């Protein structure tokens, strides 16, 4: 019986191939798999306006936060679906435990003893047109100097005002 099950498994797996990851926009992170079989796809003629509440930090200071990698996945998935880069308007409102990711490399290294793994993804997101804001309330509440932020990160009055402002401008809100 075991041989029969093994034979069936081997025969059925011959046609299964491992999907290769692709990175159409964010090249160094956030690989996705092509989904030619999908029937629900992004509208390539639509303008996407998305504001993302990024609150969840990382437990591993050596790795980029899942939240930021997921922003890269969002961009890559829409690009794979045919949405032109100029039709993607994404804003990040980073706060709470995620705010430690926005430190410049020197400050991050002083806190964690590691280079800041988020700097590379911030650069790629910024190059893809993503606006990256750190909540000043979260910065001040943690005594983080607003002059010691990673390149490309700007300071917003708050996550709350950023989220409400962009939602009232017609941006869809996501939370990572």
CB atoms within 10 A of CB 158: 16
Specify if 11 maps to a domain.
no
Specify if 25 maps to a domain.
no
pLDDT average per 10 residues of sequence, the chain (176 residues): 48 53 76 84 96 94 94 95 96 97 98 97 96 98 97 98 98 97
Specify if 74 maps to a domain.
yes
Specify if 104 maps to a domain.
yes
Whichever domain contains 126, its CATH number is 3.40.1260.10
How high is the pLDDT of residue 18?
56
Specify if 138 maps to a domain.
yes
Annotate 70-105 with b (16+ C-beta within 10 A) or e (fewer): bbbbbbbbbbbeebeeebbbbbbbbbbbbbbbbbbb
Torsion on CA atoms 110, 61, 142, 150, rounded to nearest 10: 70
d(CA 135, CA 57): 14
Specify if 145 maps to a domain.
yes
How high is the pLDDT of residue 26?
77
Specify if 47 maps to a domain.
no
- Determine the 3-state secondary structure of 103 from DSSP: strand
How high is the pLDDT of residue 139?
98
d(CA 4, CA 80): 40
Q: Which residues contact 170 (CB under 8 A, 6 or more apart)?
A: 49
Tokens, residue 80? 């794979």
Domain count, the chain: 1
How high is the pLDDT of residue 108?
98
Selection from 116, 98, 7, 115 nearest residue 57 by Cα: 98
Specify if 43 maps to a domain.
no
How does pLDDT run across 132-156, given as a tens digit for each residue? 999 999 999 999 999 999 999 999 9
d(CA 130, CA 10): 45
- CA of 77: how far to CAs of 17, 30, 33, 83, in Å? 21, 9, 9, 9
Torsion on CA atoms 48, 127, 142, 165, rounded to nearest 10: -30
């Amino acid at each position: 019986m075991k041989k029969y099950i093994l034979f069936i498994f081997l025969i059925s797996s011959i046609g299964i191939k491992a999907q290769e990851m692709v990175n159409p926009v964010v090249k160094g992170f956030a690989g996705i798999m092509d989904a030619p079989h999908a029937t629900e796809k992004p509208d390539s003629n639509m303008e996407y306006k998305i504001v993302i509440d990024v609150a969840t930090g990382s437990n591993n200071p050596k790795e980029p936060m899942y939240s930021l990698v997921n922003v890269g996945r969002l961009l890559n998935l829409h690009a794979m679906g045919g949405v032109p880069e100029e039709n993607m308007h994404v804003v990040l409102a980073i706060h709470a435990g995620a705010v430690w990711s926005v430190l410049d490399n020197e400050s991050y290294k002083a806190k964690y003893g590691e280079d800041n793994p988020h700097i590379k993804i911030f650069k790629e997101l910024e190059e893809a047109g993503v606006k990256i804001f750190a909540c000043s309330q979260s910065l001040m509440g943690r005594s983080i100097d607003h002059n010691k932020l990673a390149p490309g990160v700007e300071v917003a009055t708050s996550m709350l005002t950023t989220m409400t402002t962009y939602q009232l401008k017609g941006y869809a809100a996501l939370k990572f």
